[in-house]
Structure 1
Amino acid sequence: MDKLSQTRIQLLHPDLRALATETFSKAELKLTGRAQARITATLRTFEEQDALYKLGRTVVNPDGKSKSKPMGNIVTNAKAGQSIHNYGLAMDFALIIDGEETSWNTAKDFDEDDIADWTEVVAVFKANGWEWGGDWKSFKDPPHFQFDFGYTWQQLQAKWNIGDQKNGYVNLKRAALNVANLYRAKTALNLRTGPSITSRKKKVILKGDYLSEISREGEWSNVVFEGIKGYVNNKYLVK
């Protein structure tokens, strides 16, 4: 395993690092020719996710930029907190050819064993319990693997929002998660310092974002959103 892959594995959730190392090492053994597997991404912070989400929307992405598409290509539909990467439970990979060229060719058989090298890596990960983005129905993400321990991103976000964390990573113990208190904003909401429309705004919660309710006082709910506590009008919250 090259140093870049080793370094990136150490950014994964601590509960996943050993499995990631074992699985990736097994995958490497399958490649006996010009191609070598390399991990290209693991943990992505909320800030990094937000920056990716803005590309092609509010920030120009040079990739795909044209007269008909002045903002360039949209990179992701996942906002901050909505990607499994944000919790250190996913990795992306590529093939490195002859130690230099990066390739995402999913069909090439570089070691000439009648099986595409990409397919050999995918088979090892799936055999070890990882979910592969290439199997997704809504869209395909061939470089992506994730091991989410049975959590949805909504549940992981809820645990993060209530501060159920340890050493910067979400706590994966299930007993700590109260899914009953997970709500979604059905319109844009102002997160306020107190239960009143005159209270100062702390943050804007966008339509569709998830938050966790701590307590309810009439039409106002004390909630946590992205680690910030405040109040919102609960008539705009849905399950």
Structure 2
Amino acid sequence: MKKFKTAFSILFLLVIGGFFFIWIQNEKEFREELQQRPAPSGLHPIVEEKSNELIAKAADIGIDIIITDGFRSADEQNGLHAKGRSTAGNVVTHARGGESYHNYGLAIDFALRLDNGKVVWDTERDDNNNGKADWFEVAAIGKELGFTWGGDWQRFKDYPHLEMTFGLSITELQQGYRPEDVKE
């Protein structure tokens, strides 16, 4: 009986070890495939579609907006990160290249456009005269469309920023995970 238990234990360990070996190989191949995926070079199709809807819905209530930034390369992101640090200007971002949803085509920034074409970042402006700040009305529309608004962040308020993460963290995006192009 003791020999049977020993033989069974060895067989069990071999089977488990085989499954573990196969799992490790599959995981390794999956990670290598992820790392070989090309980096995005523009806005995700759904983010682009929702950006256009944001512009249209804001116009419907008398607010003219412009998308001031969308996809950003890692080099562009590093240039922005340098502002207020190693180059002149105010700090505008805490994210380095590869650390922003902009770098994956999942974020946009907006501003208000006046009748004379001037672009402003005035969060108190009420040009449609409804008693509500236009900026916050646009942010609310963005949230209705599925964006997360940087003005709701606790640590750092980024009022022009809207993003769609599709449930992916920056770490996952850096590893090569990408959202699907299909609508939810």
Q: TM-score, normalised by structure 1?
A: 0.54
Does 1:48 find its partner at 2:48? no
Distance verdict in 2 for CA 1:74–1:121, change over 3 Å: closer
Q: Deviations over 1:129-175 (max 9, x none)?
A: 1100000000101111001111111111111xxxx6xxxxxx324xx
- Flag the structure with higher strand content: 1
Q: 1:30 pairs with 27, 43, 61, which one?
A: 61
Runs of 4+ in 1 over 3 A off after TM superposition: none
Q: 1:98 pairs with 93, 96, 115, which one?
A: 115
Higher RCO (Cα < 8 Å, 6 or more apart):
2
Q: Deviations over 1:59-84 (max 9, x none)?
A: x21x3xxxxxxxxx333221110000
- Unaligned 5+ residue runs, structure 1? 1-9, 64-72, 165-170, 174-239
Does 1:172 find its partner at 2:179? yes
Between structure 1 and structure 2, the one with the greater Rg is 2
Distance verdict in 2 for CA 1:172–1:27, change over 3 Å: same
Q: 1:18, 1:101 → 2: CA distance?
A: 25
Alignment match, 1:88: 105
Superposed CA RMSD in Å reads: 1.9
Q: 2:51, 2:92 → 1: CA distance?
A: 25
Query: In the alignment, residue 73 of structure 2 is paired with which amino acid?
Result: T
Q: Deviations over 1:210-237 (max 9, x none)?
A: xxxxxxxxxxxxxxxxxxxxxxxxxxxx
Contact 2:70–2:109 (CA under 8 A) maintained in structure 1: yes
Distance verdict in 2 for CA 1:116–1:74, change over 3 Å: closer
Contact 2:123–2:134 (CA under 8 A) maintained in structure 1: yes
Alignment match, 1:20: 51
Q: Deviations over 1:175-196 (max 9, x none)?
A: xxxxxxxxxxxxxxxxxxxxxx
- The within-5 A match list for 1:18-167 is 18-31=49-62, 35-58=63-86, 60-61=87-88, 63=89, 73-159=90-176
**Percent identity, aligned pairs only?**
40
Q: Cα distance, 1:99 vs. partner?
A: 3.2
Q: TM-score, normalised by structure 2?
A: 0.69
- Unaligned 5+ residue runs, structure 2? 1-40
Query: In the alignment, residue 141 of structure 1 is paired with which amino acid?
Result: D
Contact 1:91–1:144 (CA under 8 A) maintained in structure 2: yes
Contact 1:27–1:125 (CA under 8 A) maintained in structure 2: no
Distance verdict in 2 for CA 1:19–1:102, change over 3 Å: closer
- Flag the structure with higher helix content: 2
Size of the alignment, in residue pairs? Answer: 140
Distance verdict in 2 for CA 1:94–1:150, change over 3 Å: same
